[in-house]
Structure 1
Amino acid sequence: MSETSPRLFIVSPHFDDAVFSCGALLASYPDAAVCTVFAAPPAHEMHTEWDALSGFGSAHEAVHARTIEDNNALAALDAIPVRMPFRDGQYLDSPSISTLAAALEEIIYGSTANTLLMPVGLFHSDHELVSDACCEVLPRLAHLAWFGYEEAIHRRQPGVVEARLEELARRGIVATPARPDALHTIDPARQAILKRHAVNAYASQLRAFGPHGCDDAFAPERYWQLSMTHRPARHAGK
């Protein structure tokens, strides 16, 4: 890979988000890093509705099994797992935006990435938290190429993409439709096969979402190139 080729670092709120939303892209870029933010189990054993829907009897069992699923999915795409020590919202111990931003900045800065993909921040509070933290980091690491990816499944909620893009604009972040892999692709049929194999590795989440609940993961992926304006847009009347 040449020095000008993208070296991808994808920030994934949960174990499955990067593959569900960017799996075809990952299939084109072996050795991309996938950084899962909420990869730690709760400090104490607990039981949640989502873990039960996923087929688990406890949170610790869920995180252990989902880590294995994620390892298998990323291996199918030749991606490199990076895991952060934070807990997702269902475990009632979410980090602050500033804490998460500082940790993300450190891990991104220490990587060899030149292209960063972050969730747009759709619908789910964990996704919005991670996106907000990435927005804090973007101006400080503006030498990277930044892209936002629309999170599969959540992007189907009416109006959420438009609302989030408006929020980014208020923060001074311009979002332009674009693809990180515009000049580097593999055969689309092979992309689709590799992505489907990776998605199917998340058996517990397919179970929780139910029949056809993850169909959107196989729809075309959508990306936005992100850049800073000189200053954030002002709210009306201010």
Structure 2
Amino acid sequence: MPDAAPEASIPEVLALSPHLDDAAFSCGGTLARLADAGWRVSVATLFTASVPDPRGFALACQLDKGLPAEADYMAIRRAEDAAACAALGAAPLWLPLREAPHRGYESAPALFGPPLDPDPAEAALLDTLATLLRERRPALLLAPQAIGGHVDHVLLVRALRALQPAAPVLWWRDFPYTARSATPPQPFADSMDVLPEWSAAVDPARKQRACAAYRTQLGFQFGGEAGLARALAAGGTHERFRTADPAALPALEPRAA
């Protein structure tokens, strides 16, 4: 579970990441910028539980990263996340929920289809998020828009919206899904697209260093570190967000038409 709440005198930015890499990939530059400006920055990743003796599709998701069956895949990924967060000036928090392949999603298409009814993580995610927000009392939240439609991202957006947190939310664009298609699935487009889009300038080199820490993902996602560099460069020097309250983050600028 998360550490004790931070000192009240230091405002906290809390990024809610479905997986161990989502926040760094999608808004790592903004997190680094906020850390440099004196905010306390934390990245809470929800689906990080180690699962002994994975089988079927869950095991395949480990083997296709070049890891042996006996490896603790999530322990390796948590270590990568610690290195990435250190590069950004953020503190990692790891929550004990299981990723979708360990909850009955048995294929890649299933990961991007409708959530199971019921999904065993849905109620646990709601409770976990409620506890996290109560204990941390963040001044600002960053969270995914669930672009791409991955079920773990979708469940996180659902839970956060249900909780209606007091802190303003910056909804980030989910990379690399935004880079894979000109028209990726956007399950929450009706509610997200009515919010103004804003952007924040970032240090591309620093973001790339943080993202490169997720070494188990680079070959599968990008074809290697050079592919990561190309994908990040194609995304430009700004990170984009939807938010109803841009005044919550002075670093934001209206997105140019």
* TM-score, scaled to structure 2: 0.72
Q: Does 2:194 correspond to 1:165?
A: no
Q: Which residue of 1 aligns with 2:253?
A: none
> Which string of whole-angstrom CA distances, capped at 9 and with x for unpartnered residues, describes residues 53-104 of structure 1?
2121237521111111111010111101111110111122664433312210
Structure 1, unaligned stretches of length 5 or more?
228-238
Q: Which residue of 2 aligns with 1:38?
A: 47
Alignment-mate amino acid for residue 207 of structure 1: G
Q: Does 2:195 correspond to 1:175?
A: yes
Q: Which residue of 2 aligns with 1:151?
A: 174
Moved more, 44-53 or 13-22: 44-53
Q: Which residue of 1 aligns with 2:138?
A: 113
Instruction: Report SS of the residue matched to 1:128.
Output: helix
Q: Distance in 2 between matches of 1:25 and 1:6?
A: 15
Percent identical among aligned pairs is 23
Instruction: Report SS of the residue matched to 1:201.
Output: coil
Q: Which residue of 1 aligns with 2:98?
A: 87
Residue 146 of structure 2 contacts residue 187 of structure 2 at CA under 8 Å; is this kept in 1?
no
Distance 1:5 1:80, change over 3 A: closer
Distance 1:196 1:131, change over 3 A: same
Distance 1:26 1:159, change over 3 A: same
Q: Distance in 2 between matches of 1:158 and 1:129?
A: 23
Q: Which residue of 2 aligns with 1:15?
A: 20
- Alpha-carbon shift at residue 5 of structure 1 (Å): 9.0
Residue 140 of structure 2 contacts residue 169 of structure 2 at CA under 8 Å; is this kept in 1?
yes
Q: Which residue of 2 aligns with 1:204?
A: 216
Moved more, 30-39 or 212-221: 212-221
Compute the RMSD of aligned alpha carbons: 2.7
* TM-score, scaled to structure 1: 0.77
- Alpha-carbon shift at residue 108 of structure 1 (Å): 1.4
Q: Which residue of 2 aligns with 1:103?
A: 128
